[in-house]
Amino acid sequence: MSQVVSFGAHIADALGWPFTAVPPGQQLSFLEEIKFTVAGTAAAPSVNLAKLGVDVTTVGRVGDDTIGEFVRTTMARYGVNTEHLLVDPGLQTSASLLPIRTDGSRPALHVIGANAALTEDDVPWDVVGEASVFHLGGAFILPGIDGAPMARILQRAKALGATTTVDFLMSPRPDAQELIAPALPFIDYVMPNIEEAGWLVGTEERGEIIGWLHEHGVGCTVLTLGGDGVSIAPAGAEEVVLPAYAIDVVDTTGCGDAFTAGFISGLLEGLSPAEAAERGLACGSLVATGLGSDAGIVDLAQVEEFRVAHPRLSS
Write the secondary structure of the chain as one string of H (helix), E (strand) and C (coil): CCCEEEEECCEEEEEEEEECCCCCCCCCCCCCEEEEEEECCCHHHHHHHHHCCCCEEEEEEEECCHHHHHHHHHHHHHCCEEEEEEEECCCCCCEEEEEEECCCCCCCEEECHHHHHCCHHHCCHHHHCCCCEEEEEEECCCCCCCCHHHHHHHHHHHHCCCEEEEEECCCCCCCHHHHHHHHHHHCCEECCEHHHHHHHHCCCCHHHHHHHHHHCCCCEEEEECHHHCEEEEECCCCCEEECCECCCCCCCCCHHHHHHHHHHHHHHCCCCHHHHHHHHHHHHHHHHCCCCCCCCCCCHHHHHHHHHHCCECCC
Instruction: Write the CA distances from 259 to 100, 203, 286, integer angstroms.
Output: 20, 24, 10
Residue 294, pLDDT score: 82
CA distance 26 to 19: 16
Is residue 12 within 8 Å of 36, Cβ to Cβ? yes
Residue 19, pLDDT score: 92
Mean local confidence (pLDDT), 59-66: 98
Q: Is pLDDT above 70 for 101?
A: yes
Radius of gyration of the chain (CA): 18
Residue 289, pLDDT score: 87
Q: Is pLDDT above 90 for 211?
A: yes
Each residue of 188-199: pLDDT tens digit? Answer: 999 999 999 999
Residue 25 lies in a domain: no
Is residue 92 within 8 Å of 62, Cβ to Cβ? no
CA distance 277 to 244: 11
Each residue of 140-153: pLDDT tens digit? Answer: 999 999 999 999 99
Number of domains, the chain: 1
Residue 24 lies in a domain: no
Domain range for 256: 4-18+35-309
Is residue 80 within 8 Å of 45, Cβ to Cβ? no
Mean pLDDT over each residue of the chain, to the nearest integer:
94
CA distance 313 to 310: 10
> First and final CA of the chain: distance in angstroms?
40
Residue 27 lies in a domain: no
Residue 315 lies in a domain: no
Strands 4-8 and 133-139: parallel
Q: Is pLDDT above 80 for 293?
A: no
Mean local confidence (pLDDT), 102-125: 92
What burial letters (b/e) apply to 153-177, b meaning 16+ CB within 10 Å? bbebbbeeebbbbbbbbbeeeeebe
Residue 30 lies in a domain: no
Residue 223 lies in a domain: yes
Residue 284 lies in a domain: yes
The CATH number given to whatever domain includes residue 116 is 3.40.1190.20
Each residue of 254-273: pLDDT tens digit? Answer: 789 999 999 999 999 999 99
Residue 92 lies in a domain: yes
